Structure 1
Amino acid sequence: MVAGKRQRGAGSPLDGGWGWVIVGCCFMVTVCTRAVTRCVSIFFVEFQAHFGADYAATAWVHSLVDCTTMLFAPVGSLVGNRWSCRVAVMLGGLLSSCGLLLSSFSSRLEFLYLSMGVLTGVGFALCYTPAITMVGCYFRQRKALAYGIAMSGSGIGTFVLAPVVQLLIELYSWRGALLVLSAFVANLCVCGALLRPIKPHKDEEWAEGEGKESSFTIEKVAATAASTVEKPRPSAAEEVVLSSCFLSFKEYRFLLLPDFLGMAVSFLFLATGCSLPFIYLVPYALSVGVCHQHAAFLMSILGVIDIMGNITFGWLTDRRCLKPYRLACYVFSVAMEGLCCLFVPLLQSFPLLVPFAILYGYFDGAYVALIPVVTSDLVGPQYLSSALGVVYFLHAIPYLISPPIGGWLVDVTGSYMATFFLSGAAMVLSSLILSIVSGIRRCQRRVSAVAEDTKHEPLPTIASDQSECFMAVAS
């Protein structure tokens, strides 16, 4: 009996133990992927001056890194599901390190599109989603806090790497800085080696009933769709091929949920606006007379406050009073981030840009930490890997086109006002869409619950009333 219990506990999420090592590995993965991607904006002026390109052409480097990372996020989920998250992260670390190494020898801007934009982006994609998924496998009760700590690597990495990268550029030029970043990103292989696989038991229930309604809805819709068509029994030779197809179908059942579809639309607008400030904050600060060191320091401020947003929102939304309102907290943080961007054109000095960096960084850390949490709450832990792959995939096209559009607006208007207005409006619209969809779905659930209660009213009461009437007439 004791041995059986030990065996069961060894395979179940522990909310601690080796789970904190997984959190540390995911932390380093976010440092090496998202923080390095943010620091590409520091190379913006260097690339523009060396290659003699305009804003729009130079912005394609950053947008391709972001786009490829998100576009290939489902591939990272697929590799993690088919083999293991360890294999995915180690392979991604090797590819991304090679991409930065090749970028340091680039002689044309188009070569940077391939080496840094595509190769490094594919490597980041193979690392990012599997590492985040592993945290959800090891944590249930303290999931939001674990994600907050893990995702804070983006902010801490930005805080540390921004001035370091600026110093490396001044000492060794942008080529030497990329060589150092290539060696740093190679640490992803070490992080991947520490990702110990875990296989929770199928009969294990989610903590505090979390995700039961979503799981039931997914299973019910999938069962209904399967029962409507009567299919002939496949032969033994065909069963092997069909099993892999059905496995893929089962992994993406959550796509049938209306709540997930509404969230997917809001993610498209969020991704359109959220990347622009990280690309154009430093060039905008330089354009209003802020020196290079202070402009890079703005990114550091944004990064360190990002950490506070990650951890504090993760801790707060794990509290019992706020746990049912995680989605509302996410919507609020996105809306506040959009409002901050709308006021950027009024801030034309370093002391005025500091409050923007503080507020934007805090709410950016808040919503980034809550994305995997609200996704897990919606689809359930068993679909988290595939769902995160789809969620980050939806960021791909906006990440690709929004930076060049922002650069084109700068080239046309001669100022950054339209670019930051685009960023703020997109994020405010994202929060509004998700609020409206959530409100409509909540009303529909209430109507359905009332109708279900009315449908199942106890009939014995009516029958007893009728019998009493007959007895009265008879008497």
Structure 2
Amino acid sequence: MAQEGEAAPRTSTVQDKGWAWMVLVATVLVQGLTLGFPSCIGVFFKDLQQDFQASNSETSWFPSIMTAVLHAGGPLCSILVERFGCRTTVMLGGLLSGVGMVASSFSQSITQLYVTAGFITGLGTCFSFQAGVTVLGYYFIRRRALANALASTGVSIGFTLWPLLSQHLLDVMGWRNTFFVFGGVMLHCCVCGAVMRPVPVKPPGPPSKPGPGPLAEDIHLSNGNSLGHEVHLHRPRCDACIQTLQKYLAFDVFCKNKGYRTYTIGVAWMVMGFVLPMIYLVPYAVVNGVEERKAALLVSIIGFINIFMRPMAGLLSGLKVFTGRRIYLFIVAVALNGLSNLICAISASYSAFVIYCVVYSISMSVLGALIFQVLMDVVEMDRFSSALGLFTILESVTILIGPPLAGLLVDLTGHFSYVFYASSFFMVTAALFMGFSFCTMETKNKSTQPHKPAPDNPSRGKYADVPTELGSETNGSAAIIYVTSI
């Protein structure tokens, strides 16, 4: 793929070696700077609440907007990648993130913080993260699975370091100056983006000559004052809009594919509770007498364990015994993650918090490793990109409303423990819903097709690996798969 006006040679000598490893290091840093960043917001929760005289619900809208935009911006990011390339999109995301955080340090109201640190920074982190993941698919072919596994450790490193850095800077200079410094830190995404040079995938084709086409013909005929042809003028535009929606938002797959519909609804319901501990764990610990530095360390414990557990979870899911059955491993992890929240709800001692972080991080690692692998199991790969677009947008809606609802619950009851009860409720009910639905579908499929011979690949129709050859064409252009992560 030749991008940004660079000449494309006929072959590439950088894939899986050489500069590809520099790009991998840059992607690790980008993931730590972007996906890892929301983990530190809980450190500033009480200070923002006091400074703006805001309720728990009003304050929680800030991290909700940031995280929701980070997930929902996937289709827009994919369009930018196709138009300008991965390098430019990553650098644009770094610029937006830095500007958003610098502007947030001058916010005079919580509403301004929603726009600056919430929307602008969230959109910037979305562009940098998803374009950074996309470029790995071009630089790595044979070692793509290894590259993605190593890149995902950046998220865990970010979870580990961001809360500690945030608490230290908050103690030294306050939240405004800390946000200003964070703006400079986020600009390092631009440096990482500069490393991601375009990779030529195929030789450039000859420039196509513009033909009359249906649109040009309709324009010519409509100039002849033909009302019927003026109507035809709008048809190609409508068809283009429909094709664009089908390309980035798979509504047709959602309506026809029961597995995809069940999984999307289940995950959307699940994340409403999944994001709550990352926001409310630190303020909950502080309210119960834990020192602020030790409270911030709890989030770092989750991130540190993730560094080792996430690759192990990926290797575990790759075992032959789980082929075609990853959904059940995912459901068990969802249930365990939900039940772990009861530890915090029952006991608020520091030892209980540490035990909670260990159990939570183990189940979180499995969720992060499997969430998109399972999506590949239930959707054909030729529709994966568009299915992922709708999946992340619906997911972002519940991410947006979950924390404010939990904040409202705290405002009404005066107890943070109810947040963890609510998180447990959403996670466990989502696990029960997905488990019952997939078991029912599997039983129904076996009963309706008793004599159908077993396929050579037991996951056929459910799962397909990422193509090992680049340059496959869809409607004349290379398909872009953008991936988000929990």
For the aligned pair, the TM-score class normalised by the smaller chain equals: 0.7 to 0.9
The alignment's TM-score, normalised by the length of structure 2, stands at 0.77
Percent identical: 30
Q: Deviations over 1:133-175 (max 9, x none)?
A: 4445666776555433322222211211211111111111111
Cα distance in structure 2, aligned partners of 1:115 and 1:140? 38
Alignment-derived partner of residue 182 in structure 1 = 183
Alignment-derived partner of residue 398 in structure 2 = 398
Alignment-derived partner of residue 173 in structure 1 = 174
Report the Cα offset of residue 306 of structure 1.
Answer: 1.9
Alignment-derived partner of residue 374 in structure 1 = 374
Q: Counterpart of 1:303 in 2: which secondary structure?
A: helix
Q: Counterpart of 1:415 in 2: which secondary structure?
A: coil
Q: Deviations over 1:443-464 (max 9, x none)?
A: 34434543656xxxxxxxxxxx
Report the Cα offset of residue 294 of structure 1.
Answer: 0.8
Cα distance in structure 2, aligned partners of 1:448 and 1:22? 49
Q: Is residue 129 of structure 1 aligned with residue 130 of structure 2?
A: yes
Q: Deviations over 1:383-441 (max 9, x none)?
A: 44433332221222222211111111112112122211111111112222222232233
**Shift in CA distance, 292/430, structure 1 to aligned 2, threshold 3 Å:** same
Tell me if structure 2 keeps the 8 A contact 1:309–1:363. Answer: no
Q: Counterpart of 2:399 in 1: which secondary structure?
A: helix
Cα distance in structure 1, aligned partners of 2:261 and 2:447? 21
**Shift in CA distance, 95/377, structure 1 to aligned 2, threshold 3 Å:** same
Report the Cα offset of residue 200 of structure 1.
Answer: 6.9
Q: How many residues align?
A: 416
Alignment-derived partner of residue 63 in structure 1 = 64
Tell me if structure 1 keeps the 8 A contact 2:248–2:389. Answer: no
Which is worse superposed, 55-64 or 120-129?
120-129
Alignment-derived partner of residue 328 in structure 1 = 328
**Shift in CA distance, 81/69, structure 1 to aligned 2, threshold 3 Å:** same
Report the Cα offset of residue 40 of structure 1.
Answer: 1.3
RMSD between aligned alpha carbons? 3.0
Cα distance in structure 2, aligned partners of 1:338 and 1:60? 22
**Shift in CA distance, 442/83, structure 1 to aligned 2, threshold 3 Å:** farther
Report the Cα offset of residue 281 of structure 1.
Answer: 0.5
Alignment-derived partner of residue 119 in structure 2 = 118
Q: Is residue 349 of structure 1 aligned with residue 346 of structure 2?
A: no
Alignment-derived partner of residue 435 in structure 1 = 435
Tell me if structure 1 keeps the 8 A contact 2:164–2:300. Answer: yes
Q: Is residue 278 of structure 1 aligned with residue 278 of structure 2?
A: yes
Tell me if structure 1 keeps the 8 A contact 2:48–2:59. Answer: yes
Cα distance in structure 2, aligned partners of 1:39 and 1:359? 20
Alignment-derived partner of residue 473 in structure 1 = none
Tell me if structure 2 keeps the 8 A contact 1:156–1:307. Answer: yes
Higher share of residues assigned helix: 1
User: Could you tell me which amino acid in structure 1 is paired with residue 62 of structure 2?
Assistant: V
User: Could you tell me which amino acid in structure 2 is paired with residue 374 of structure 1?
Assistant: V
User: Could you tell me which amino acid in structure 2 is paired with residue 305 of structure 1?
Assistant: I
User: Could you tell me which amino acid in structure 2 is paired with residue 131 of structure 1?
Assistant: G
**Shift in CA distance, 36/196, structure 1 to aligned 2, threshold 3 Å:** same
Cα distance in structure 2, aligned partners of 1:100 and 1:89? 17
Tell me if structure 1 keeps the 8 A contact 2:276–2:419. Answer: yes
Alignment-derived partner of residue 246 in structure 1 = 243
Computing the radius of gyration from Cα coordinates, the structure with the larger value is: 1
Cα distance in structure 2, aligned partners of 1:197 and 1:270? 37
**Shift in CA distance, 19/28, structure 1 to aligned 2, threshold 3 Å:** same
1:69-84 matches, within 5 Å, as 69-84=70-85
Cα distance in structure 1, aligned partners of 2:327 and 2:48? 40
Alignment-derived partner of residue 95 in structure 1 = 96
Tell me if structure 2 keeps the 8 A contact 1:89–1:192. Answer: yes
Cα distance in structure 2, aligned partners of 1:398 and 1:357? 23
User: Could you tell me which amino acid in structure 2 is paired with residue 329 of structure 1?
Assistant: L
Report the Cα offset of residue 298 of structure 1.
Answer: 0.7
Cα distance in structure 1, aligned partners of 2:214 and 2:20? 42
**Shift in CA distance, 343/8, structure 1 to aligned 2, threshold 3 Å:** farther
**Shift in CA distance, 194/376, structure 1 to aligned 2, threshold 3 Å:** farther
Cα distance in structure 2, aligned partners of 1:412 and 1:327? 37
Report the Cα offset of residue 274 of structure 1.
Answer: 0.9
User: Could you tell me which amino acid in structure 1 is paired with residue 243 of structure 2?
Assistant: F
Tell me if structure 2 keeps the 8 A contact 1:151–1:368. Answer: no
Tell me if structure 1 keeps the 8 A contact 2:81–2:131. Answer: yes
Tell me if structure 1 keeps the 8 A contact 2:249–2:390. Answer: no
Q: Deviations over 1:43-62 (max 9, x none)?
A: 11111122222212211111
User: Could you tell me which amino acid in structure 1 is paired with residue 334 of structure 2?
Assistant: V
Alignment-derived partner of residue 471 in structure 2 = none
**Shift in CA distance, 414/246, structure 1 to aligned 2, threshold 3 Å:** closer
Cα distance in structure 2, aligned partners of 1:150 and 1:283? 30
User: Could you tell me which amino acid in structure 1 is paired with residue 400 of structure 2?
Assistant: L
User: Could you tell me which amino acid in structure 2 is paired with residue 115 of structure 1?
Assistant: T
**Shift in CA distance, 200/46, structure 1 to aligned 2, threshold 3 Å:** same
**Shift in CA distance, 123/159, structure 1 to aligned 2, threshold 3 Å:** same
